[in-house]
Chains A and B, each alone.
Chain A
Amino acid sequence: MSARNRGTELDLSWISKIQVNQPAVLRRAEQIQARRTVKKEWQAAWLLKAVTFIDLTTLSGDDTSSSIQRLCYKAKYPIREDLLKSLNMHDKVATGFPSGQTHLKTRLEEIRLAVEDGATEIDVVINRTLVLTGQWEALYDEIRQFRKACGEAHLKTILATGELGSLTNVYKASMIAMMAGSDFIKTSTGKETVNATFPVAIVMLRAIRDFFWKTGNKVGFKPAGGIRSAKDSLAWLSLVKEELGDEWLTPELFRIGASTLLSDIERQIYHHVTGRYAAYHDLPMS
């Protein structure tokens, strides 16, 4: 795990003047997908890199030990060994371990319990009402308390960006979350109707960069939900590369929360190695 973000004092001047122009951000989001593509070896290498960013998570209420076990196996061996061998990559690729069944709507006590249970990463969702009503001090205090409760565990703050009303609010909430000491900011839980979208990501990434420029702290970014195809994942990688730079392209600072993405990536790699498209039964299920 990377160095912790210690956070800063609340400084409302960092967010008071910020204006995010939504149509311009939408145009940028379209462009980034059209201007950067990778092919051949580059595509294969990028896809494998994407695998290392995946957080395989499950939030289903009906999880049993067998389904969790299968997930864990998939996390350890995300891509068929023979495919990796032919790329000369068999010693390198493993996904992030699942961060545990996330406690939604955790309160502080739950966090402490989870940390005692040995959780190393805690996901919390911010209180959207505080954002919508502009109570930035209260939001800061709340996240600050979560941060304290986490102890040495990493704090991932979920902004639930689909419910913040505007991109300007997304920027402000991101900045507050980072000032309060979040180690990761995350677009959504993955279960909302609006998941990770490029425009929202662009705004969050810009906030991360601004925070880095102001404090020197690198905060991680995690889009979650709605990222299904291998092509999407490549666009996410180049988005982070373009907006933040190569330093952010490590599992310590960038994760992708996705459940069905992995199998599509595996199929693309199968195609790259064999020149054929895979049938569903060619690859192990997750």
Chain B
Amino acid sequence: MAATHERPSAREIFITLEYGPVPESHACALAWLDTQDRHLGHYVNGKWLKPEHRNSVPCQDPITGESLATCLQAQAEDVAAAVEAAGTAFENWSGLPGASRAQHLLRLAKMIQKHQRLLWTLESLVSGRAIREVRDGDVPLAQQLLQYHAVQAYTQEEELAGWEPMGVIGLILSPMFSFLEMMWRICPALAVGCTVVVLVPPASPTPLLLAQLAGELGSFPGILNVISGPASLGPVLASHPRVQKEGRALRRTLAGKGAELGLALGAESLLVLTEAADVDSAVEGIVDAAWSDRSAGGLRLLIQESVWDETMRRLQERMARLRGGRGLDGAVDMGTRGAAARDLAQHYAHEARSQGAQVFQAGDSPFFPPTLVSDLPPASPCAQAEVPWPVVVASSFRTAKEALAIANGTPRGASASVWSERLGQALELGYGLQVGTVWINAHGLRNTEVPTGGCKESGSSWHGGADGLYEYLRPSGTPARLSYFSENLNYDTFGLAVPSTLPAGPEIGPSPATPYGLFIGGRFQAPGARSSRPIKDSQGNLHGYVAEGGAKDIRGAVEAAHQAVSGWVGQSPGARATLLWALATALERRESALASRLERHGMELKDAKVEVELSTRQLRAWGARAQAQGHVLQVAELKGPVLRLREPLGVLAVVCPDEWPLLAFVSLLAAALAHGNTVVMVPSGACPIPALEVCQDMAALLPAGLVNVVTGDRDHLTRCLALHQDVQALWYFGSAQGSQFVEWASAGNLKPVWVNRGCPRAWDQEAKGAGAELGLRAARTKALWLPMGD
């Protein structure tokens, strides 16, 4: 690289016209490290915390390996101290009026503005990312995030009435994420009144600096605490009784303590280049996505076969012009991220080559060059693995349909861009891709107002926009998350066996007879096990038998639900509403039968009638809401709209609570259907018969497979559903043990779960039963960016 040569004279440069080094002074970053004697501790409760007898790790310059400072490694006590501080601060902070919190966030934004140079040089020095990206991208965005969320805090009492802050938020930052990723999460948390403990990977001083800046504002020292330590401390932080929410999907560790979880919450992105694209601009999009230090991960590139050669030629030509080098150089595209990132990339490139791929490298980089992998056999391990920075893996497709199949065929789903000048095609692809963010003819745009998140194994948490706020809120009055962890729960045997049932005495027949069978694929079927379970009424008399569902029945129900997905998603919201309203009418006709069923379970007839009436109201309310989904965002820098879409999750499994056997069943069903999901439901264990009564109407009204109801042993059915990889989300209302099992087991495909942790819920109260929470959980958000211009 030019910087290492002897300095050429102006005369020589005049001939060669080469680029020279444009070094940015990092003196202020070093001076800041000096104020800590090059020895960084943790920043807790507005003070530096430097406990004795801790290991420390060096923080190195990613190019020279020179040690810049040492960082202390936290231990469990330090985590406890930080959580304690955050807990104490929470009492004050959450009690403040929103306007005061807004004021404080704005002061922090100002503070960042005053020290921005220190912030960007330190970040670029340590992370090795190109300074341009930190200076022009990250730091201004960090300020905007604070400003945006200050506004949200200001309007919180009005806009978010009925919600309250969760409490202390534990955030575990992975090594590949920058301080900006931290800001995306702490800003909404602080805005709504939560306080935060961030566990940063060792040797990342920028979050510590941010915490110091926040601490030096004086007033609320404990709201942001940063400790540095190994990822193994994550579970310690997350399972602390005061921590209400964890930032990363440590689900299995959290539920299961100690079990491994491969965190696939990656930064890999996807780019689909069609033949109708402006290829040169798309090539720039690839540079943005993979080789400009904007993103943390690699890129999967899908190119339409007809433009494959042309794209490859342009891409390789472009790669040769990329400049890599020291992050603090003002004229490089790509900085240098240290040995760990290089080893990862090297390993991937090596593996890909040995699996038969072509590996093309170009560009001027002292560390690891931009890398393009093509012709990777589809079944090779590399084709399935996550692509690391700075690697691009290119493969071809023939039609848009095929592109969708390939793109959706990975377990990851964070972000993607579609390059096509044909509006219809671009929208078809944009809507069809199962990812959190889609950019049309652009890549990597971000804005504080646009929610960003992922689906599938990229995790289901959101940040930015209104969706980001709800991550740190819970409906008012919901009990705080208490530890319900039970050491005794055996994951291997939970719900494994079904107790056998025998005839249970005389059947005091109700009239008409109870519907019998599992409601699967639109009709009642005999259960696979060919056995039944007795249902007793409140006096202990036999009320009737219901079918005993098992693993095979769950499999059948999930299949039936999958077959119904495309038809139901394709229905307009209006059509969905019509069906829900029709079901409500049918329920009204059946009112007396339903009420008498409920009455037999020990309810007053009056209350039973109220429950039926509330149920019909739920169906109508959700039917009405089906038509008000998603909206358009207008974003400052972007000419054109960003569509915030609410997309169905797919097949949603619901294990209904024992309380309110009809109302809970109908509320959950209505919310799920209104958002376009198809469902597999396990009704109340004690009183499943009203739900089966409703099935009789659904058999007549709804498309087959849309709703499937499986009765039987709840633990067993829960086990089958939680371990099913092709169920996209699971709601569980039951015992604490069941909740723990569901959280543990669902880690298999990281499906979003919603569990009640053994706490009953007041379904008759409008605010909760029909409230926004159900709606939030019944669909996922997608942001679709549509830049315009000609």
A and B contact pairs by CB, cutoff 8 A, 9 listed:
A21-B281, A23-B441, A37-B330, A39-B22, A41-B8, A46-B17, A89-B11, A213-B313, A246-B16
- B-side interface mostly: loop
Residue among B11, B20, B136 making CB contact with A88, cutoff 8 Å = B11
The verdict on B13 contacting chain A, using a C-beta distance below 8 Å, is yes
Is A45 touching B10 in the complex (CB atoms < 8 A)?
A: yes
Is A246 touching B17 in the complex (CB atoms < 8 A)?
A: yes
State in angstroms the CA–CA spacing of A249 and B278 once bound together: 26
Within 8 Å CB of B313, what residues of A?
213
Is B442 touching A24 in the complex (CB atoms < 8 A)?
A: yes
The verdict on A25 contacting chain B, using a C-beta distance below 8 Å, is yes
Within 8 Å CB of A238, what residues of B?
19
State in angstroms the CA–CA spacing of A166 and B18 once bound together: 34
Within 8 Å CB of A27, what residues of B?
284, 442
The verdict on A35 contacting chain B, using a C-beta distance below 8 Å, is yes
| Other A-B pairs beyond A35-B332, A45-B14, 13, CB < 8 Å | A23-B442, A23-B788, A23-B789, A24-B278, A36-B19, A41-B7, A41-B9, A41-B10, A48-B10, A49-B17, A88-B10, A92-B11, A166-B790
Is A92 touching B14 in the complex (CB atoms < 8 A)?
A: yes
Is B20 touching A40 in the complex (CB atoms < 8 A)?
A: yes
Which residues of A does B touch, CB under 8 Å? 19-28, 31, 34-42, 44-46, 48-49, 87-89, 92, 166-168, 206, 213, 237-238, 241-242, 245-246, 249
State in angstroms the CA–CA spacing of A48 and B14 once bound together: 7
Within 8 Å CB of B277, what residues of A?
19, 21
- A-side interface mostly: helix
Within 8 Å CB of A40, what residues of B?
20
- Distance to closest chain A CB from B568 (angstroms): 35
Within 8 Å CB of B17, what residues of A?
45-46, 49, 237, 241, 246, 249
- Distance to closest chain A CB from B306 (angstroms): 10
Q: Which residue of B lies closest to A241 (CB)?
A: B17
The interface bits of chain B over 1-33 (1 if a CB of A lies within 8 angstroms of the residue's CB, else 0) are 000000111111110111111100000000000
Which of A24, A35, A88 is most buried by chain B, counting CB atoms within 10 A of its CB?
A24
Residue among B281, B321, B331 making CB contact with A37, cutoff 8 Å = B331
The verdict on B366 contacting chain A, using a C-beta distance below 8 Å, is no
The residues in B between 274 and 293 inclusive whose CB is less than 8 angstroms from any CB of A are 276-278, 280-282, 284-285
- Distance to closest chain B CB from A7 (angstroms): 23
Residue among B13, B285, B321, B421 making CB contact with A19, cutoff 8 Å = B421
State in angstroms the CA–CA spacing of A270 and B587 once bound together: 88
Within 8 Å CB of B282, what residues of A?
24
State in angstroms the CA–CA spacing of A241 and B788 once bound together: 28
The verdict on B333 contacting chain A, using a C-beta distance below 8 Å, is yes
Is A35 touching B132 in the complex (CB atoms < 8 A)?
A: yes
Given the known inter-chain contacts A22-B790, A23-B787, please indicate yes or no for A49 contacting B441, CB distance below 8 A.
no
Within 8 Å CB of B333, what residues of A?
35
Which of A46, A48, A166, A237 is most buried by chain B, counting CB atoms within 10 A of its CB?
A46
The verdict on B640 contacting chain A, using a C-beta distance below 8 Å, is yes
Given the known inter-chain contacts A28-B281, A49-B14, please indicate yes or no for A42 contacting B441, CB distance below 8 A.
no
Within 8 Å CB of B9, what residues of A?
41, 88
State in angstroms the CA–CA spacing of A21 and B421 once bound together: 7
The verdict on B115 contacting chain A, using a C-beta distance below 8 Å, is no
The verdict on B639 contacting chain A, using a C-beta distance below 8 Å, is yes
Is B331 touching A36 in the complex (CB atoms < 8 A)?
A: yes
Within 8 Å CB of B8, what residues of A?
41
Is B13 touching A41 in the complex (CB atoms < 8 A)?
A: yes
Is B10 touching A28 in the complex (CB atoms < 8 A)?
A: no
State in angstroms the CA–CA spacing of A42 and B788 once bound together: 38
Is A38 touching B20 in the complex (CB atoms < 8 A)?
A: yes
State in angstroms the CA–CA spacing of A21 and B280 once bound together: 9
State in angstroms the CA–CA spacing of A144 and B11 once bound together: 41
Which of A20, A38, A242 is most buried by chain B, counting CB atoms within 10 A of its CB?
A38
Residue among B10, B331, B789 making CB contact with A89, cutoff 8 Å = B10
